[in-house]
Every structure is written in C-alpha cells, then in structure tokens.
Structure 1
Amino acid sequence: MAPPSTEYNARHLSVLEGLEAVRKRPGMYIGSTDSRGLMHCLWEIIDNSVDEALAGHGQSIKVILHPDGSVEIHDDGRGIPVDAEPKTGLSGVEVVFTKLHAGGKFGGGSYTASGGLHGVGASVVNALSARLDVQVDRGSKTYQMSFRRGEPGRFLDAKSPSPTAKFEPFLESSRLEVVGTTKRGVTGTRIRYWADRQIFTPDAKFSYEELQARARQTSFLVPGLRITLRDERRLAGTAAEAGALEEVFQHDGGISEFTTFLAADSAVTDVWRLHGSGRFKESVPVLGENGHSEIAEVERDCEVDIALRWGIGYDTTVKSFVNIIATPKGGTHQSGFEQSLLKSFRKVIEANSRKLKAGNDKIEKDDVFAGLTAVLTVRLAEPQFEGQTKEILGTSAVRAIVAKVVEKEILAKLNSTARGDKAQSALLLEKVVAEMKSRISARVHKETQRRKNALETSSMPSKLADCRIDDVERSELFIVEGDSALGTAKLARSSDYQALLPIRGKILNVQKASVGDMLANAECGALIQVVGAGSGRSFQLDAARYGKVILMTDADVDGAHIRTLLLTLFFRYMRPLVDAGRVYAAVPPLHRVEVINHGSKTNDTIYTYSEQELSRLLAELEKQGKRYKEPIQRYKGLGEMDAEQLAETTMDPRHRTLRRVRIQEAESAERVFDLLMGSDVAPRKDFIVAGAASLDRERIDA
C-alpha cells in the first residue's frame, strides 16, 4: 500500500478542485510567473493586512525576507476567523486559504472599502506555494495551520521549517491546532510561505527596492500605519550584503506629504487638497437564500481625495489609487480627473483671455499637466477592476463623480479671492498659458525647421558658424564662451563637421525661471533653435541637428558656472539629449610647459590639466635633469590660446579629451540641480561654506 502522503481521495478532490486551476493557469491570476508574479503574490498577502489597518483594526505590519527564499508577514489586525464557516464546516483559516472567491470582503459586512475584492488573493498564493504556514492570535490562543501546494496538513520539521520536510495531509478532516497562548486582547496574523519553484521561473526573486517603494507608498496612503521591512538574505551587491537591513516607514501627513515627496521641482503652488463624495447605483449579482444568484440594484458611496501641486518643470507625475491599491494604468477615476481638470482650466483661461494674453488658441492636456504632481485616491465598496492584477479601475460611475468633485474644487481654488490662493492661481495660469505658447511655437518651429545649406543662410542665428556636412552622427556643435574664444575656435576647427555657437556671458538660470522667461531669453532661444529638436515635452531626439553638443568654457570658476548653467538648460528642457549621452564638456588644459632640448632640436611642449599633474611633471623633469622655460604659461581662458594650441588640446578628436555628461540617477540629479541652481538659498550657502576650504584660489579669474 502507498504511504499516506501520496494518497489521493475524495478529501483531496474537495480541497484542490479550485486551486488546481490556479496551478495550471497561474498567469490568469498573477499576470506572470517571473519576478513580477512573485511580487504580486506578496502584495496580495500584504494588502490583506493593510485592509485590516484601513478598517481601523491594526497599526503595524512587518515583512521579513528570509535567506531560504521564504517571506514572512506579520500584522496586529483582528486575526483570521478560527471558528467554523457554516456552509462548508471548515475553519475560517482553511476557507480563506483553500477556497477561491471566499473571504470577508464580499457583502460589505467586514470591510466598507478594501483592496482585495476578488477573494482569490490568499488562496492563489497558497496554491502557488511549496509550503505556507499561518498562525493566528485570537481569543488568547495561538492557532496554526500548514499547507503544501494548497493542501492542508502537517509538516514534520525537526528544527527549522522547510518546504522539503515530510508532510502528512489531513485525510479525514482538517484540524486547526492550538500551539500556544497570548495575552488577553492580543490579536494578529503571521504568514510565512515558500514560493513553488515548479511554478515560478528560476530567476524570479523578491525585489527589496520594489517592496521598499510599495511600503513607503502605503505608509503615505494610510496615515499612522507603521510598516517594517527586514531583509535577511545578504544578497551580494545590495545594502543588506553585510548584514540584516531593517527599515521602518510611517507618515502621518497622508497624501499631501506623499505629493511633496514625489515632487522634484521647485513649487509654483502649495499642495492643494480636493475633497468630495458622491453616490451611484449599480446592478450586481447577489446570492439569495435559495443559493441562486440574482441581479439586484445597490447604492454605493464613493469618496474622492486628491492632493496636487504644480512646479516650475514640465514633467508630470500622477499616482492613482482605489482603496489604497495602485492603479498604474489609470481607469475611470483618472480619466474623470484629467478631463475635468482640462475643462476647468479652459473655462478660467477663456474667461481671462485678455488679461493672460492667451489669444484664441485652446490649451491642451499637456499644457495643464506640465509640472503637475498629483495623488488621486478614491474609496468605494466592491470596485470593478479589469483583471485580478487591479491595474485599471472599470467602475464607470466613478468617472462622473471624480469629474464633478475636481471641477467644483479646482474652480473654487482658481477663482478664490484669498490673498495666498489668488497669487498662486495667477502664477499657475501664467505658467499654463506659457506652456501653450511654447507648444505652439515648437510645432511651428518643427514645421519650418530645416537644416541650413548654402542657400538657407537666414534660418539660423547670425552668430552660428555652422558646419558643411549633413551627417548628424559625425557633426559636432561647440558652445563657446565669448566672442574672443570664437575667433580662435574658428581658425582651430574643422569646418566640415564642427559648428560653433558663441554665448555671451552667463545665460539665464532656467531652474528658477518660468518657461516663458526661458523662451524669451535670447541665448536660450538661440541654443534651442540651433539644436533644432524643440524643448521640453516637444523635444524630439531624432530631430537634433548634431551628433555631439560640446560645452567649451574657460578652465576657471566663471567657466564652471557657465557650464553649470548650460547643463541646467539641457537637463531641464533638452534632457533626452543628455540621456542619450550626446552632451559633452571639453577639457582645455591649465598649463603649457615648454621643455628645453639641447642643440638645434625643437623644444617639446607638454600640456597639463591640473595642479597635481603639473607637480608630477615638474618632479619628473627635475629627476631627468631637464630644464623648462620660466614662467610656465597658465591658461585662464580659451582666448589665451592660439588656434594651433586650441585645436591640438581641445578640438582635434585625435588629441582632445571630452567628458561625457551622464545621468546615473535621475532623482539624485534633480536634487543636485535644485541645490545648486534652485530658489532655496540656505542649503546652497551651507554647501558653499562646506566646500570653501577645497577651492583652488588660482582658479578665480580676478
């Protein structure tokens, strides 16, 4: 006779009939079987704990990533019910983990608004786990149950739990075992599971970075909730490589604080909160007393809460949520928000057309959404999602409710007579109109822009010394500091493929300026026109007229400042060019050392690019017994070089050195630009004071 663990009888059939479908078609439930699907399983369990906190029954959640590949989730909610469910006779724990479409989120009795609504989350995770252990603290007792690939039973572990331990399935009836006691009033649930490697791909793994982002996001959405993450895996190349890493996330400011966290640019408005609610009716199937499903009309409440602010940039960040579950692909709530916001701004701008000098042109969605950071949340019972992955909200009535709330609240803000709101609204409307004008200007420019040839001398700024070839990949644009350097550079360049554009002094700091001010600035306008690919949202990398854009400034403090201003312009308004690695900084030499040779042999010329390099060179020459001309020439500007020297050191591809400008981390780059070029003076002063001791006084051209 076969051993008990391999028996397959009616008991197994009743438990596994639903979960077998999950194991055969996991993609239907979790999207995929790679890391994305693995993380989706984890979200299903975490969301159940979050729903408890959202309902006011818990304040803390802890997630532990174990070295053996398992993950453990603790919460201090009410605990999964342990009493028998009347229809099946099974304990609440077994029903939750073995029955699809079963749980406390149907019928509206336990949760008014929750993230898990299909009732398949916990059971799907169980079906796709090689082992799942659950412990429930309830009624001063600790209950425990284990499952192997969805089947309830008992693992015979010697010491530490393992999915490969001997397993005894429950054959006659399941047993929820009491394994300990707890203090009176202490409740909660602890779940630990091992994902089944028969289902998931070998390279599927839990991403701590994704978990970290989701925990932070949830702590914003549920004010007061404490989420602790602990990574004990010690994976190479991670922050937890040296030892266990633990982080705690708790934010009491809600979505207003979330919006401030997400916003990367300087503010045009404060964070505005839009609140409202609405009711709607929908027809849903309801299980009658006779066990048959009947269509009934029910009335629902929908609460809308939005936090939004505009900044000086043009990037848009809109995060939407339904019952704190992210909907990255939007849905009816987001479409209602977008349509109503555009409609409201059009109404206000049309009413103030003369004052804002908007003309007859209509603003578009991109004009309003430029620089917008928004967090949109709606709460309603039993929302209709498109698929178990819950990426799109499908409840159609929500669109009109959100649109009505947004229109009412945003018009009140834009038409407010309060001093603070009035000033911010004026700045915001000016920004939106400027974005519209920029878009129209870019479109017209794109339609008329052609690469200059011999017959088209008037299409570009007169000060541009263009190159002759049409091959974009080979062409180079040198942005030169000042007219004096331009004269030398003209003689030093190869006019076939090297173009020159001089700029006069320090251009506008676009980190502080509005889009309108940037476009009105002659130097910025000339740069955007010469590059020929537009600016901001309308920038098209394929339309850029040059393969390389090289910033060639003096090797002094002023030159570094001008280079920073230029990089700010490229980062803010022509960023795809930087992302593609097509922006460079030229590296002109600091010193020219002429080594004296004996006899009639021509003296050697050596260029050095730093004080340290010069010191090493002079020490080496002294060691070799060689003499050099005094004084050593130190270049403080490109204009001090003759054409031959400039070509040899800075412009000739065979000898020059270029520094490619890269964005390794977009968020860090945003912070650096905001620190160096933004409106907040105090942090910049601290930065300058801290770095003053390391400044080389010789680099100050004074």
Structure 2
Amino acid sequence: MSDDAIRYDAGHIQVLEGREAVRKRPGMYVGSTGERGLRQLVFDVADRAVNEVLVGRASRVEVTLTADGGVRIADDGPGDPFEDTGTAGAPGLETLLTRIQTGVQPAGRHDVALGYCGMGPFVTNALSSRLTAEVRREGVSRVQEYSRGIAVTPTTRSGPATGTGTTITFWPDAEIFGTATYSFDGLEERFRELAFLNRELDISLTDRRRPVEARTVRFRFPGGARDFVAFLDERAGAPVHPDVIALGWEDRRIAGTVEVALRWCHSREQRIRSYANCRPTLHGSTHETGFWEGLTAAIDAYAREQRLLAASDAPLGTDRIGEGLTAVVSVKLDQPEFHGATRSVLGGTGVRECVAQAVQEHLDSWLASHPEQAAAIIDRISGSSAAPVATGM
C-alpha cells in the first residue's frame, strides 16, 4: 500500500454545518428519504403549533395536504414575530427556520415533540424546495419566502390580517425525497394519538391532493386516556365490564403527572400503549413496569380477599391478568430519563415506584366499590388458560 493511500490528516476531514449538513445526510435528521421522512417534516413544523395550543396561546391547529404537493400547518395563536425574539423570549420565526437548534434536550411535561429528533422547522426548511411563512399579528399579515433553507425575500407586508396566527406551507424537495408521497393514515394515527394524550388539543387533518376525494378528520378527546381505551376497544369484542377504569394524578416525587386507563374485553390480545411526554415507549420502560406491578398486586389481593381464589392457588401473573386487557399508561415529567438516542425507553426507579403505588391504591378502591364488575374481571382472569398475544406495543 502506498504512502498516498494511507496518509490521512485534518485536511481530509470535511466539516458540514447547518443546512448543508441536513441536505447532505437527511436520514440523520428525519429518519429516511421515504414516507417516514416526509412525515417527520410535518411533525417538525407541527411541534411549534401544537405547543402553542398546549400552553394556551392558541385554540386549534389545522394541517392540510395541498393539491400541489405542499403541506400547510396553521394555528390561531398570537403570531410569532420574525425578529430574533419571539413569544416569552423564545427565538423568532426566522431564527427557527434558518438556524439549527443545538443542544436539544428531552422536552419537559409541558412540551410535545411529535417525531424523531425534534429539531424544529429548520430541518423542514432545509429539505424543502420552497417554504412560505406567514404571520398574522397586530392587524397585519407579513410573509417571507425560502428556498432550500435560504430566505429569498425579506419579510414583506402582504396586507391586512383577520385574526392572528402563524401559517407555514412547504413543498418537500424532490431532489431529496424523489417520488415518495405522504400516507394520510400515518399522519392521522399520530395526530389522533396526540389528541388522546392531550385532552385540550384540537387538531384537524385535511387531504386536498385529490379534490374529488377531499377529506377532513378532526381530533379532540376531552376524555383523554379514557377515550383512548374506548377507541382501542372498538375491534376487541364485548367488554367484560362497562366502565373504563381511569385515574390521573400529579406526584411531586417524580415532578410530573400520570394518567392511566384500562378495561378488560372478551379477547385474547393485550392492547397496551405506554407514553412518556407523549412519546411512545417500549416494553421495559419504568412507568409500564410500575403499572404491571400495581395492577397484579391489586387484582391478586382482591381475588383472595373475596375468596374468588383459594389460598392454595398460585399468584395471578401478568400473562393471565393481561389477557384481553386494554390499557394506556402516560406520564409527563419535567426531567424524563430516556435511554438511547431514540428516547423510546423511560428510566427512573422513582417513576416505577410511584406508578405502582398509585395504580394499586386506586384499583383497590375501585374494585371494592364496584363488586359486580370486579367479580366479572376476576372470573375472566381466573378462566384464562393461555398466554395472550401482545399487540400495540
């Protein structure tokens, strides 16, 4: 091997920054250059609008797939100024669209990150052939145009404004995404899920790509996790008991809130969904482990207290208790301890202990005050002979 072939020094290192880095390696920022990546473009813009609703500055979010291949995301908040400083000292809209947000941390309980990395609209702008930002504020509408992450016009007054808000419309760059197209169902699933987890959220998704088949779906669920369980149960067969068992509380020990809802149905499948700060989490996360510990302790104790199980019977395990069970376990923490870059597994022993205690105490009380439904649950569990098929993890 020649010296030229093995010579390597700092001069061989190529440093890519900002929009250049995003366009060179788009998969690192949006996951793929296919449909998954297109969804992430939407989520990186929708994050800002959704959080405007969750903090009370806006009442709704509207997402539209336009006939010309673009995506429009609008809110009715106060309208983000284009200057460097926006609402509550946050970066202005132009800064969000042109500068990567370094040092991104896991969102606190009052913030929502819809997608993969949560780097905001900068990535969407860099990967769009065209982007238009419109701000309606103080009776005036102002617009700025971008191309592949670079502003091509100054902020311009476009006329009087009715109401307030921010609208961002973008067209994914065909040089990056080729012929990939959006899946309405994929967007619908995530926005519906988000509305279940945030009962104050009001969001609509409209598809105008084929005018003769235009459709709109609105997501708003004041019942929160209780409504989520009822939705998951729609194809699960008849419920064992009519009531969805639901509990929610705030715990200072974990600096956060917990919401749990559950019901048993006449099926063999488990339908367990767990979330931390609105992110789907995988089996092994501490809040899900705590849920199972509290659930099994309460069910086993009640069955023995009511002599629905004999003293000689083996303890009821999660395989039997989980058969036919639908449950949603959601925690929102100020300082979540995620494991791994994808933030799909939640750590923290304190979370496990708090969730287990709360679930056991609440279920103890519910079972005691609903003896007929409790008996039906125990009868369903004690009659289970085979391990369930787990779904929805």
* Fold shared, TM-score > 0.5 on shorter chain: yes
- Confirm or deny that 1:226 pairs with 2:202: yes
Distance 1:383 1:193, change over 3 A: farther
Per-residue deviation, 1:97: 1.6
Structural mapping, 1:192-211, within 5 Å? 192-200=169-177, 202-211=178-187
Letter aligned with residue 259 of structure 2: D
Distance in 2 separating the partners of 1:142 and 1:396: 50
Q: 1:177 aligns with which of 132, 156, 166?
A: 156
The answer on whether the counterparts of 2:304 and 2:310 sit within 8 Å (CA) in structure 1 is no
Please give the secondary structure, in 2, of the residue aligned with 1:260. helix
Letter aligned with residue 340 of structure 1: G
Correspondence for 1:268: 240
Distance in 2 separating the partners of 1:389 and 1:348: 39
- Confirm or deny that 1:131 pairs with 2:104: no
Structural mapping, 1:231-630, within 5 Å? 231-234=207-210, 242-263=212-233, 264-269=236-241, 270-280=243-253, 301-327=255-281, 331-351=285-305, 354-357=307-310, 359-386=312-339, 390-394=343-347, 397-414=350-367, 416=368, 418=369, 421-435=370-384, 438-439=385-386, 537=388
Distance 1:400 1:30, change over 3 A: farther
Please give the secondary structure, in 2, of the residue aligned with 1:134. strand
Per-residue deviation, 1:115: 1.1
Q: TM-score, normalised by structure 2?
A: 0.82
The answer on whether the counterparts of 1:349 and 1:358 sit within 8 Å (CA) in structure 2 is no
The answer on whether the counterparts of 1:135 and 1:143 sit within 8 Å (CA) in structure 2 is yes
Task: Report the count of equivalent residues.
Answer: 367
Distance in 1 separating the partners of 2:63 and 2:93: 20
Structural mapping, 1:16-165, within 5 Å? 17-85=17-85, 92-101=92-101, 113-116=110-113, 120-154=119-153
Distance 1:44 1:189, change over 3 A: same
Between stretches 320-329 and 207-216, larger displacement belongs to 320-329
Per-residue deviation, 1:182: 2.1
Higher relative contact order (CA 8 A, sep 6+): 2
Per-residue deviation, 1:351: 4.6
Correspondence for 1:453: none
Distance in 2 separating the partners of 1:50 and 1:330: 29
Tell me the alpha carbon deviations over residues 249-307 of structure 1, each in whole angstroms, 9 at most, x when there is no partner.
Answer: 33333322221121122122211111222234xxxxxxxxxxxxxxxxxxx62111111
Please give the secondary structure, in 1, of the residue aligned with 2:152. strand
Distance in 2 separating the partners of 1:384 and 1:355: 40
The answer on whether the counterparts of 1:29 and 1:388 sit within 8 Å (CA) in structure 2 is no
Q: TM-score, normalised by structure 1?
A: 0.48
Per-residue deviation, 1:72: 0.8
Letter aligned with residue 276 of structure 1: W
Distance 1:107 1:314, change over 3 A: closer
Per-residue deviation, 1:232: 1.6
Q: Which runs of 5+ in 1 are unaligned?
A: 1-15, 155-174, 235-239, 281-299, 440-535, 540-702
The answer on whether the counterparts of 1:327 and 1:393 sit within 8 Å (CA) in structure 2 is yes
Tell me the alpha carbon deviations over residues 218-277 of structure 1, each in whole angstroms, 9 at most, x when there is no partner.
Answer: 33333354322221212xxxxx6x342233333333322221121122122211111222
Q: Which has the larger radius of gyration?
A: 1
The answer on whether the counterparts of 2:246 and 2:260 sit within 8 Å (CA) in structure 1 is yes
Letter aligned with residue 168 of structure 2: I
The answer on whether the counterparts of 2:324 and 2:388 sit within 8 Å (CA) in structure 1 is no
Distance 1:390 1:132, change over 3 A: farther
Distance in 1 separating the partners of 2:389 and 2:102: 50
Q: Which runs of 5+ in 2 are unaligned?
A: 1-15
Per-residue deviation, 1:65: 0.9
Tell me the alpha carbon deviations over residues 344-379 of structure 1, each in whole angstroms, 9 at most, x when there is no partner.
Answer: 333444555x53247432322121111111222222
Distance in 1 separating the partners of 2:273 and 2:286: 14
How much identity, in percent, do the aligned residues show?
35
